[in-house]
Amino acid sequence: MSDYDPSTVKPSPNPRVRDQAARYEESDGTEDTDMNGSPCLLLDYRGRVSGDWRRTVLIYAEDGDTLLIVASNSGADRHPAWFASVETHPEVHVRVLAERFAARAEVLSPQEKARVWPLLLAVFPRYEEYRRNTDRDIPVLRLTRA
């Protein structure tokens, strides 16, 4: 991960995500750090094909000293674009408020996902609606500091 430079990360093509990430970054983690009251982080990940660093904004929950993120794609029938990239390149960089750190992402097993699902619903109850509205299994990932 030695070639990582947060100033060269490619912004999201989604205008809402791109704008929120820019405000989060430009304010040094003091503005636009939530979505409808749910805490958000910046996830920088390496593109699966291009190898370029990219950025997205995700709601997160804490589980001990790790963070949990959900590949919900707002309940759509396909995984979000970042998910395949993180599966291929699990070494990521995270920003939570003013703090930056390297982390490793792992997809949780069904048993572990069942254990942490209530933690995620406490942060963002709509995840349950998303799960009901799609036939796909919505992955949950754990971010562990490197």
The answer to whether position 132 is within a domain reads: yes
The β-bridge partners of 70 are 140
Q: Over its length of 146 residues, how does the chain's per-residue pLDDT go in tens digits?
A: 458 998 899 999 999 999 999 999 999 999 999 998 999 999 999 999 999 999 999 999 999 999 999 999 999 999 999 999 999 999 999 999 999 999 999 999 999 999 999 999 999 999 999 999 999 999 999 999 99
Angstrom distance (rounded) from CA 75 to CA 93: 25
Q: What is the pLDDT of residue 1?
A: 46
CA 65, 139, 9, 57 dihedral sign is: negative
The answer to whether position 40 is within a domain reads: yes
The answer to whether position 1 is within a domain reads: no
Which residue has tokens 């794609």? 73
Helix (H, G, I), strand (E, B) or coil at 25: helix
The answer to whether position 130 is within a domain reads: yes
Cα 126 off chain centre by? 16
Which residue has tokens 């971010």? 143
Cα 9 off chain centre by? 15
Number of domains in the chain: 1
Please give the residue range of the domain that contains residue 35: 6-145
Kindly report the length of the chain: 146
Phi and psi dihedrals of 143, rounded to 5?
Answer: -105, 115
Q: What is the pLDDT of residue 113?
A: 98
The answer to whether position 121 is within a domain reads: yes
Instruction: Provide the CATH number for the domain around residue 121.
Output: 2.30.110.10
